[in-house]
Amino acid sequence: MLMGYSSFGPVMVAVMIFAFALAIVVYFIPSIVAYARRTQNFLAIFLLNLFLGWSLLGWVGSLIWALLDEKKGYAYMQVPVAAPNNSSLSPQPRAIMTAPPTPSSTAVFCPHCGHAVGPEDLFCAHCGHALRQPPEK
Ligand SMILES: [Zn+2]
């Protein structure tokens, strides 16, 4: 016999739904602020809000971030356009651009996967790509 708990009135249900919706809105206030301010890092703020908003620190942090983040200004929209580059002038693949920067100037990178390899290696230790043709007779 669950006396008192067996019958929620429709008003009580409505109040609970309203409170739930209100909690959702309050929960996503940082994302709403970030969206309204058209911040640069809206997606990051939203994800922080979504995954860490349940903790007070994450919620306050994402809210502060949303308030302090730079707006998407005109300068931000000016993405530097790459100069027209005729690929016929540079036939070699530019795989080295994906390689991580290294302080050593003598480092050699695999042209296949970009992994750092030794200057004397015949094969890439990462993907097995032949770095040079074996000496033929
Ligand atoms: Zn490789």
pLDDT digits (tens, 9 = 90+) for 81-111: 555 555 455 455 555 455 555 554 567 889 8
> What's the CA-to-centroid distance between 112 and ligand 1, angstroms?
5
Distance 98 CA to ligand 1 centre (A): 12
pTM of the model: 0.45
- The CA distances from residue 24 to 17, 61, 95, 124, in Å, are 11, 17, 47, 52
**121 Cα–ligand 1 center, Å:** 11
Mean pLDDT (the chain, rounded) = 79
Average confidence (pLDDT) over 60-69: 95
Q: Report the Cα 15 to chain-centroid distance in Å.
A: 38
**Residue 29 Cα to ligand 1 middle (Å):** 47
Q: What digits encode the pLDDT tens for the residues 30-39? A: 999 999 999 9
Average of per-residue pLDDT across 113-128 = 89
